[in-house]
Amino acid sequence: MALGQRNAALAAELPALRRHARALARDPSLAEDLVQDTMARAMERWHQRRPDGSLRAWLFTILHRTFLNHRRREINAPVSLTPDGTLPERLAQQGVTAETRLWLTQLDRAFGELPPEQRQVLMLVAVEGFSYAEAAEAMAIPVGTVMSRLSRARERVRAALEEPGSVIRQVT
Amino acid sequence: MSEKDLSDELLNAYLDGELSPAEAADVARLIAACPDKSARLITYRRIDQGLSVLYGGASEPAPRPVAAGRTRPGRWWLPLAACLLLAIGAAGGWGLRGLDGPGGEEQAEARIATLATDAHTVFVRENRHAVEVTAEEDEHLFRWLSNRLERDIFAPPLTDYGFALVGGRMLANETGPAAQFMYENAEEMRLTLYVSRSTEIEQTAFQVTEHDGVRAFYWVHEGFGYALVGPLARAEMLAIAQRVYDDLEGPAG
């Protein structure tokens, strides 16, 4: 593949990588660092990519490895309530009802309060549709750890949503 | 497997389509018998759906590409429509349901019809739980099932025939995940469209089976089996199927 094609293929994945990185990092500048590092690594390692594999899955794998490295350097990364601070406006534009919007805002908060490794596994499996084996590869952990983290993550979000003061009962 | 074996991890694995069909069937039985686990599963699904809305980029139409050369959304059955043959009532088209015998193309096709008919029969009786994801979240539904089946799939609109999309769900069979879309008309008659991998590779003509008044129109294309199942008269089912193909053959796709 020529360089132009490579760069075009990578550029096409940028929006998906950005939103993923923001959800994961909960901090816009950290998210942008992750995306930049991921792109740089993808270019360096372009020849290692399986030509018949999914480019996006490969990029997410790099992104998650990069995130792990960042985490080792910066254990106490700041956590903001929404990835980019524009959540309610964005949802309103998508025609989501006020009730659902409230619930989603609480979900966003509950998700943001998860430990980063639990956010990672939920993003990969629940949002991106990775299999457990693919998620294990992306996060460089055993499948058993994927299962336990995922199970803890979902349960924790559920518990947070069902706390008194949450609106989940009103909308289900 | 008994109720005490139903760990949280197993519940999650079931939700994520990680179990073999036999395990999934066991787990589904245990969940059905346990209101606490059923409620938890529903909440987990809702959480997953919410996360997809929040972070899944609903404005991006393309699902995660899984292989080179994959067809784009909305075009997955156009090649079939181009060479569609209606073998209604032809020898081999009828009475194949439940046929046991040596493997062959007819048997694989009939297997899809059997799976689709059984799934239809089970889920059209449901009211509150007829579908996992409702038509209100159709984008999410199509993307989710496309990711799981590793194939771009969606439910073609059938409103011209009075059928509105109710929603869809993921099922499991011996080939892995399967998708079921459900439609309903004003008389509360329901049609389902079932899609899963097929053991056959060859593209086949359109065929039909009938069992207890439920008809399944089915075919195999590029490694996937498809079946439209419903209780309507044969002529009506045929008309709907033909109309769907006519629409999909047009330049608008």
Which helix H or strand E contains A81, and what residues bound it?
none
Amino acid identity at A45: R
What pLDDT is attached to residue A150?
96
Radius of gyration of the CA atoms of chain B, in A? 18
| A143 Cβ under 8 Å from any chain B Cβ | no
Distance from the Cα of A14 to chain B's closest Cα (Å) equals 12
Nearest of B219, B232, B210 to residue B158 by alpha carbon: B232
| pTM listed for this prediction | 0.51
What pLDDT is attached to residue A96?
59
Q: Which of A121, A150, A166 to mutate to test the interface with B (most CBs of B within 10 A)?
A: A150
Contact B18 A111 (CB under 8 A): no
Per the prediction, chain B carries an average pLDDT of: 71
What pLDDT is attached to residue B179?
93
Nearest of B154, B137, B157, B134 to residue B145 by alpha carbon: B154
What pLDDT is attached to residue A142?
94
Cβ-Cβ contacts under 8 Å between A and B: the total is 95
What is the arithmetic mean of pLDDT over A34-49?
Answer: 89
pLDDT at residue A114 tops 80: yes
**Which of the four pLDDT bands, split at 50, 70 and 90, describes residue B23?**
confident
Nearest CB to A54 within list B48, B64, B148: B64
ipTM over 0.90: no
Q: Give dist(CA A133, CA A135) in Å, integer.
A: 5
| A124 Cβ under 8 Å from any chain B Cβ | no
Q: What is the 3-state secondary structure (H, E, C) of chain B?
A: CCHHHCCHHHHHHHHCCCCCHHHHHHHHHHHHCCHHHHHHHHHHHHHHHHHHHHHCCCCCCCCCCCCCCCCCCCCCCHHHHHCCCECCCCCCCCCCCCCCCCCCHHHHHHHHHHHHHHHHHHHCCCCCCCCCEEHHHHHHHHHHHHHHHCCCCCCCCEHHHCEEEEEEEEEEECCEEEEEEEEECCCCCEEEEEEEECCCCCCCCEEEEEECCEEEEEEEECCEEEEEEECCCHHHHHHHHHHHHHHHHCCCC
pLDDT at residue B242 tops 80: no
Nearest of B169, B217, B171, B173 to residue B199 by alpha carbon: B173
What pLDDT is attached to residue B84?
31
Q: Which of A119, A124, A127, A145 to mutate to test the interface with B (most CBs of B within 10 A)?
A: A127
Contact A155 B68 (CB under 8 A): no
What pLDDT is attached to residue A90?
60
**DSSP label at residue A164:** T
Spell out which residues of chain B touch residue A132, defining contact as CB-CB under 8 Å.
Answer: 13, 16, 18
What is the arithmetic mean of pLDDT over B207-222?
Answer: 79
| A48 Cβ under 8 Å from any chain B Cβ | no
Least confident of A1-10, A35-44, B98-107, B117-126: B98-107
pLDDT per position as a tens digit, B129-183: 889 899 988 989 999 998 998 887 888 888 877 889 999 999 988 888 999 999 9
| A150 Cβ under 8 Å from any chain B Cβ | yes
Looking at per-residue confidence, does B239 or B72 come out higher?
Answer: B239
Is the four-CA dihedral A101, A107, A109, A112 of positive or negative sign?
negative
| A165 Cβ under 8 Å from any chain B Cβ | no
Distance from the Cα of A53 to chain B's closest Cα (Å) equals 6
Spell out which residues of chain B touch residue A162, defining contact as CB-CB under 8 Å.
Answer: 43
**Which of the four pLDDT bands, split at 50, 70 and 90, describes residue A110?**
very high
Looking at per-residue confidence, does B206 or B6 come out higher?
Answer: B6
Looking at per-residue confidence, does B139 or B53 come out higher?
Answer: B139
pLDDT per position as a tens digit, A85-98: 556 566 655 555 67
Least confident of A62-66, A107-111, B97-101, B241-245: B97-101
What pLDDT is attached to residue A67?
87
